[in-house]
Structure 1
Amino acid sequence: MQLTPLDVNSFDISDPEFWVAPREYRESAFASLRREAPIKFFNEMTLLNFPPGPGYYALTKHEDIWAVSRNPELWCSGQGSNITTLTPELNEFFGSMIAMDDPKHFRLRSIVSKGFTPKEIARVEEYVTAKARTLVDALLEQHADDEFDFVEKLAAPFPLEIICDMMGIPQEDAKQILDWTNVILGAGDPDFGGSLEILMKVALEIFSYAQQLGEARLKNPTDDLTSVMMQAEVDGQRMTSQEFGSFFILLVVAGNETTRNAISHGMLELTRRPDQQRIWFSDFETHTRTAVEEIVRWASPVIHFRRTATRDTELRGIPMPAGTKVVMWYNSGNRDEDLFVDPYRFDVTRQMQPGQIGFGAGGPHFCLGANLARREIA
């Protein structure tokens, strides 16, 4: 990829137009920030008629993202994980655990994590492999002599069907879940509604669906993930149906969409780079671990998350008063030249230490579903 050094004051990463510019331009912009202004202030965009916020500092270097992620006492999540400051009600409704701090976050994560233990993930591993094989075989049979949309036919339905099965959601409801998630993720996009009213209508529908599912499993548990979480206790307390509703939105929306994006980006790059296909498939078991990590690094399916300073501090000598927003740009950290040799080269044998930050940079908010996502990508 040919990068062009840019004046760091000549572009605005908060401007939606920036994100429809050619990829080379966007990568050049973030490379210029890492080199010239690794911590830079930007104004916030206006989203869905929310009042404009005070602005934020963009963190574009791996080491800064790593440090902030692992210091939740100084950089909290409870004031919001989105750049835009939502109302406290919306923040809790959409944010679930990712917009909480301890001790509330610890309690809820301790309950939810019982559904994501190595034992639970291993239990579904064979199913994940079988589901992938079934979907691929069906597509090859249906489209033996023509093309098909990989994202629509495989990357989108595959992780969603896995989540639906794990949660005990009937497969006939999967299309409705997909439609709901697209509206929530496409907030501000006219193709998916584009208004706060539509967003809230859909959010309430999916929240109500989740509450009913949770209450049903609380009364009549089965062997699905919903039952595991609703029956689990920490210090004698169970998850409420409202807490489950918020987590459900996080899991089926964020958990589904991020894996979809990683699989899509991975397939696209493997198609562009047949040499990497040959390397991976020449010894699939040996290269799968590094190949999956490289796909996540390359895709960076979560672009950013925000943290807020809990007290006066500084980063790289820049004063950060209490209440200052910082936004961790994972896509930029995953291209950091100080850590990744030739970061714009897709390499399924790449060794990473420290690792890619596509699942977060450690700390209490590291992605609970990372191991499930790895298995789905593989």
Structure 2
Amino acid sequence: MTAIERNAIDLNDTDGFWSASIEHRQAAFEALREQPGLPFFPEPVLGLAPRGPGYYALTRMDDILRASRDPARFISGRGSGSAVDLPPELADLGQSMITMDGPRHGRLRRIVSRAFTPRMLDAVVENVAHVAAGIVDEVIGRGEFDAVADVAAELPLRVICDMTGVPASQQGFVSEQTNRMLGIADPDYVVDQDDPMQVMSDASRRLSELMLDLAAHRSARPGDDLISTLVSAQIDGEALSPSELASFFILLVGAGNETTRNAISWGIELLSRFPEQRAIWLSDLDAVTPTAVEEIVRWSTPVMFQRRTVAEQAEPAELGGQLLGPGDKILMFYWAANRDPRHFSDPDRFDVLRSPNPHIGFGGPGPHFCLGAHLARREISVIFRELLTRMPDLRVTGEPVRLRSALVNGIKSLPVTSTPGGSTSEVHRGAA
């Protein structure tokens, strides 16, 4: 890319930059990485939210690692999923661990982490295998189907709803509200583009109301699910308040559902695009699965950025050759860092054997590393074992319909085909 083209890159342009080809995005971020200092961008216009002063884009792995490891200076509490400061009412509603700092963040993470008892984790892991097998049972005889709607979206949604005790009758509602909450720039999910902040607020409120109703029910009639554990028992003398519980649920269905869904979607697309990588994986399923899963997460990077803000009390600091002071915003583009040639050999290549693979597809190091990374890895591993062994000729028949978003590297639809047939899964035979 020429210098003129570098100056024309607009990271706020969802219709242009984020909807262009993956190759164009790769070339643009390569140009930004080579620029001295940190490139600066004005903030996007988002509904009625006031326009702020702008942000610096971090596209090099080393810069993102340094910011992630200094949470006292680069804070999350001013917002994490948007360069735009959220209105107070929406910020309060979405006040989850991902937008908290210091002691409060540590307290919530500690409570949630310890609610995942060994018994509960064993049950969740076992359930993932049964859910994945059941999903493939549903599609294996069709011949043609949508890999997103029928497979990738179903697995994490069912697992999370089972884990939290959300009834099957409400799973479609959870999916719809999550799509609206994270797809505010996509007309397929949000018809009225006049005030996307209001759309996000309404979706978050509806999910919050669902969880508060469920928590009240579980408080009176506890079950074996995660929500029963969080509402009926104190952990080390601490428990989540109702609003904290609702915010945790919103984070869980947002980060845990959408990100795993999109990693699986991209994995199916990539294995069809690169059949030699599928053959390598199938040649030694047990040995290749761990590296293949990490490579799918690196290549897709479902959450493409997170924001940090320099704390008001912090001293000015240099990052990437740029002096940053209190109030300055940075957007850490994980997607770009996961293709940084200083850390990855031939970074644009999809390689299921890639090792080492120091990607940050689950976030950078530090207190905000993804709490659900282990579950996500398990879900991706299990569903691809089912697909590779039971539908080995699965292939994509059309271009992926991508989500219009700068935050989520999403696929909305992915048509696939395979030879109809197959048998009942090993999991289901063993359970019969």
TM-score range, shorter chain: over 0.9
1:338 has 2:338 as partner: no
What is aligned with 2:303?
A: 302
1:105 has 2:108 as partner: no
1:313 has 2:313 as partner: no
TM-score, structure 1 as length reference: 0.94
Q: Deviation string for 1:160-180 (max 9, x for gaps)?
A: 011000111111111111111
- Matches of 1:140 and 1:50 in 2, distance apart? 47
Q: Deviation string for 1:288-315 (max 9, x for gaps)?
A: 1111100000110001000111122221
What is aligned with 1:36?
A: 35
- Matches of 1:59 and 1:90 in 2, distance apart? 26
Aligned-pair CA distance for 1:120: 3.5
Are the structure 2 counterparts of residues 45 and 376 from structure 1 closer, same or farther at C-alpha, using a change threshold of 3 Å? same
- Match for 2:363 among 340, 357, 360? 360
Aligned AA (2:69): R
- Matches of 1:247 and 1:155 in 2, distance apart? 22
Give runs of aligned pairs for residues 112-261 of structure 1, distance below 5 A.
112-116=112-116, 120-141=120-141, 143=142, 146-193=143-190, 194=193, 195=195, 196-261=197-262
User: Once superposed, what is the RMSD of the aligned Cα atoms?
Assistant: 1.7
Aligned-pair CA distance for 1:117: 5.6
- Match for 2:375 among 369, 372, 377? 372
Q: Deviation string for 1:141-169 (max 9, x for gaps)?
A: 2x1xx311111111111110110001111
Q: Please say which of residues 21-30 and 224-233 is displaced more in the overlay.
A: 224-233
CA contact (8 A) 2:135 2:154 kept: no
Give runs of aligned pairs for residues 31-70 of structure 1, distance below 5 A.
31-37=30-36, 39-70=38-69
**What SS is found at the alignment partner of 2:251?**
helix
CA contact (8 A) 2:37 2:321 kept: no
Q: Deviation string for 1:181-224 (max 9, x for gaps)?
A: 11111113333233343433332221111111122223322111
- Matches of 1:332 and 1:121 in 2, distance apart? 33
Q: Deviation string for 1:226-245 (max 9, x for gaps)?
A: 12222353552210111111
- Matches of 1:289 and 1:25 in 2, distance apart? 29
Are the structure 2 counterparts of residues 63 and 55 from structure 1 closer, same or farther at C-alpha, using a change threshold of 3 Å? same
**What SS is found at the alignment partner of 2:39?**
strand
Aligned-pair CA distance for 1:18: 1.2
- Matches of 1:62 and 1:38 in 2, distance apart? 14
**What SS is found at the alignment partner of 1:85?**
coil
Aligned-pair CA distance for 1:116: 4.0
Aligned-pair CA distance for 1:95: 4.2
Are the structure 2 counterparts of residues 172 and 39 from structure 1 closer, same or farther at C-alpha, using a change threshold of 3 Å? same
- Matches of 2:119 and 2:66 in 1, distance apart? 31
Aligned AA (1:124): V
- Matches of 1:71 and 1:31 in 2, distance apart? 25
CA contact (8 A) 2:291 2:353 kept: yes
Aligned AA (2:372): G
Aligned AA (1:12): D
Q: Please say which of residues 26-35 and 117-126 is displaced more in the overlay.
A: 117-126
Aligned AA (2:108): L
User: Percent identity between the aligned chains?
Assistant: 46
Are the structure 2 counterparts of residues 119 and 295 from structure 1 closer, same or farther at C-alpha, using a change threshold of 3 Å? farther
Are the structure 2 counterparts of residues 218 and 331 from structure 1 closer, same or farther at C-alpha, using a change threshold of 3 Å? same
- Structure 2 gap ranges (5+): 382-432
What is aligned with 1:279?
A: 280
- Matches of 2:324 and 2:287 in 1, distance apart? 45
Q: Please say which of residues 124-133 and 363-372 is displaced more in the overlay.
A: 124-133
CA contact (8 A) 1:95 1:250 kept: no
- Match for 2:326 among 303, 322, 327? 322
Are the structure 2 counterparts of residues 66 and 285 from structure 1 closer, same or farther at C-alpha, using a change threshold of 3 Å? same
**What SS is found at the alignment partner of 1:109?**
helix
- Structure 1 gap ranges (5+): none
Are the structure 2 counterparts of residues 90 and 351 from structure 1 closer, same or farther at C-alpha, using a change threshold of 3 Å? same
- Matches of 1:28 and 1:372 in 2, distance apart? 33
- Matches of 2:117 and 2:59 in 1, distance apart? 32
Are the structure 2 counterparts of residues 259 and 42 from structure 1 closer, same or farther at C-alpha, using a change threshold of 3 Å? same
- Matches of 2:321 and 2:299 in 1, distance apart? 30
Are the structure 2 counterparts of residues 116 and 373 from structure 1 closer, same or farther at C-alpha, using a change threshold of 3 Å? farther
